[in-house]
Chain A
Amino acid sequence: MTFELAERVQTVPPSGIRRFFEIAEERDDVISLGVGEPDFSTPWTARDAAIASLEQGKTSYTANRGKRELREAIADYAADRFALGYGPAEEIIVTAGASEAVDLAFRAFVDPGDTVAIAQPSYISYEPGVIFAGGEPLAVPTREEDEFRLTVDALETAGAADAEMLVLCYPNNPTGAIMREEDLEPIAEFAREHDLIVLSDEIYAELTYEGEHTSIATLPGMRERTIVFNGFSKAHAMTGLRLGYALGPADAIGAMNKIHQYTMLSAPTTAQYAALEALDSCDDEVREMIDQYDRRRRFVLSRFREIGMNVFEAKGAFYCFPEVPEGFTAEEFAEDVLREQGVAVVPGDVFGAGGDGHLRVSYATGLPELREAMNRIEAFVDEHA
């Protein structure tokens, strides 16, 4: 027999990254700037805490919402670092990665036919997540002229006023754009005026290289309509441990927990011990990783300028977003530079509206490799552009 896929599942096309993955497999000298995860390992003390918890046989489920101690630590961290005040008992849920939290939010708040506006280019899972929940994604393109910040103009043009929900991702994957408080204010006003729920994916918040990250949930009237997502994958280099969380009003987090308790039961227990330690004692390691990313960021931006490729001044996350030279589409450039020079980058189209003509270049890779990769890109551009 064949499985007849549900229409929701059929609608979602296969990931745009997959084809490139197959090409990369053919060569053994590929330098990958195509990754969305840190090249650092989880800080040792966090790993030790995970190991110790295993040695002590702490391998049962935890409370559905996550270990109370961890929720308390998250509450303190969010308050100290980002002025986000949420109570550990009812306003925080610990999930298997921020990914799960985002999915829970779609499933908890999207009814069939509901429109979800997504500021793009952005992380590739939002659109499929909306569709799996039965909703309809609405692309709101951001533009390089606006430094890839979301504007009210873009929201209005896209028709987001009629949407139920708005998804934001700042610092942004893939552009590296950030939104400062003054950029968020008009967006908040728009959300209040049109009664939008805001999902704010702030998983790269720590990786803000100029100034401090501001969460839209801290703006007046926004706390009650916003869910904030964060996690340990990026700043704490814990992608494989799968731990994230959401912060929001008690009712909303309660609704997400209702789904979570029947599907995931609770986030991985070992990872919760690692996360607790990460918040408790790994500030220095996090600081050091951020410093390294910042150096690499400057290096890569400067090299793109030398090569003569137009590059947006990324200020967050660990990506930069250069424009491909004239005569290429992003797809062509990414494919050719991979085949000819063995450098893996992701074409911007993959990330939705506004991403075409650009490449996502991750600098979550050591400097020697980055240097070699940039030399190869230079050779490629010299030859073809």
Chain B
Amino acid sequence: MSEREVLELLRENARYSTADIARMTDLEETEVEAVIEELESAGVVRGYKAVVDWDKLEDETVRAEVELNVELDRETGYGDIAERLARFPQVKALRLVSGDYDFDMEVEGDSIREVSMFVSEKVAPVPEITQTVTHYVMTSYKEQGIELGDGDEDDRLSFSP
């Protein structure tokens, strides 16, 4: 139970201090530390990252969602293809999905050209891949559960009954 609670809080904000989490859950700080350590060593928590609103930064980062279709043969499974693709540092997320295509891949690069080259020169030539469709991200409104943009100013009065 406390594991779930701590996990939820970390997902809300990975930078909550263990002291804050302890205050919110009525656990001892040492217990919170132990739970987090356990979550990390069991591989439930795989890492901590910042959620970035790229539109707020000057330098351009180009992101694309790439749909991949594959044709499997006797020797090759989805896992083999995934393993090969996941190694590329340009690939930020890779998921096997149901529906019209097989893999859903997030790619990041410094320019549209760079991302296009990556897809056409590194991904498309993989023998099992039969088709790629690249969607460039134009604007992001929500990332990892966090709404981007400035929509939530608090215009309540400072006092109310």
Contacts and interface: CB of A to CB of B under 8 A. Distances in A.
Given A39-B154, A298-B25, A298-B26, A17 B20 contact: no
Contact of A35 (B20, B24, B25, B158): B158
Interface in B104-161: 154, 156-161
A21 B158 contact: yes
B23 interface: yes
Interface string B10-42: 000100000010111110000000000000000
Given A299-B20, A303-B23, A371-B20, A125 B158 contact: no
A178 interface: no
Given A298-B24, A298-B25, A371-B20, A36 B158 contact: no
A35 B157 contact: yes
B23 A298 contact: yes
Interface in A312-351: 344, 346
Interface in A286-307: 295-296, 298-299, 302-303
B161 A39 contact: no
A226 to B, nearest CB: 23
Contacts, number: 55
A20 interface: yes
Interface in A1-38: 15, 17, 20-21, 24-25, 30, 32, 34-37
Classify chain B's interface size. 10 to 19
B154 A17 contact: no
A123 interface: yes
A35 B156 contact: yes
A302 B23 contact: yes
Contact of B161 (A17, A24, A25, A365): A17
Chain A CB within 10 A, most for which of B13, B158, B159: B159
B156 A39 contact: yes
B158 A32 contact: yes
A299 B23 contact: yes
Contact of A24 (B9, B24, B154, B159): B159
A124 interface: yes
A124 B154 contact: no
Nearest to B9: A295
Contacts of B25: 295, 298
A367 B157 CA distance: 18
B160 A37 contact: yes
B23 to A, nearest CB: 4
B160 A35 contact: yes
Contacts of B24: 295-296, 298-299, 367
Contacts of B20: 299, 367, 371
Contacts of B23: 298-299, 302-303
A35 B20 CA distance: 23
Contacts of A344: 158-159
A365 B160 CA distance: 13
Contacts of B154: 39, 365
Contacts of A39: 154, 156
Contacts of B22: 302
Interface of B: 9, 13, 20, 22-26, 154, 156-161
Given A35-B160, A37-B156, A298-B23, 12 more contacts: A15-B161, A17-B161, A35-B156, A36-B160, A39-B156, A173-B161, A295-B24, A296-B24, A298-B26, A303-B23, A346-B159, A367-B20
10 contacts: A34-B160, A35-B158, A35-B159, A36-B161, A39-B154, A296-B24, A298-B25, A298-B26, A346-B159, A367-B20
Top 9 nearest A-B pairs (CB, nearest first) are A302-B23, A32-B158, A34-B159, A24-B158, A295-B24, A299-B23, A17-B159, A36-B160, A344-B158
